[in-house]
């Protein structure tokens, strides 16, 4: 009856990932973007971006 129609999202990485949700607070809370990391202003959760540099 219903044809299985798989829809693949042709999403550009830069367009979609402008905002990042906090893993602790949930999807409603967005994290602040920093040059090297993402920080949540609510719980203080920090996510480092790719290419971590050991200081």
Alpha-carbon distance of 14 to 22, in angstroms, equals 18
| Interacting residue with Zn ion among 20, 21, 39, 45 (CB under 5 A) | 45
Contact between 20 and Zn ion by CB under 5 A: the answer reads no
For 25, residues 6+ apart whose C-beta sits below 8 A from its C-beta are: 40, 42, 43, 45
- Do the Cβ atoms of 23 and 30 come closer than 8 Å? no
Contact between 40 and Zn ion by CB under 5 A: the answer reads yes
Contact between 42 and Zn ion by CB under 5 A: the answer reads yes
| Interacting residue with Zn ion among 24, 34, 37, 49 (CB under 5 A) | 24
Applying CB under 5 A, the site for Zn ion has a residue count of 7
């Amino acid at each position: 009856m219903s044809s299985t129609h798989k829809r693949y999202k042709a999403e550009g990485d830069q367009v979609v990932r402008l905002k990042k949700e906090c893993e602790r607070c949930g999807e409603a809370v967005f994290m602040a973007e920093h040059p090297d990391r993402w920080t949540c202003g609510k719980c203080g959760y920090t996510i480092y971006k790719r290419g971590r540099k050991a200081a």
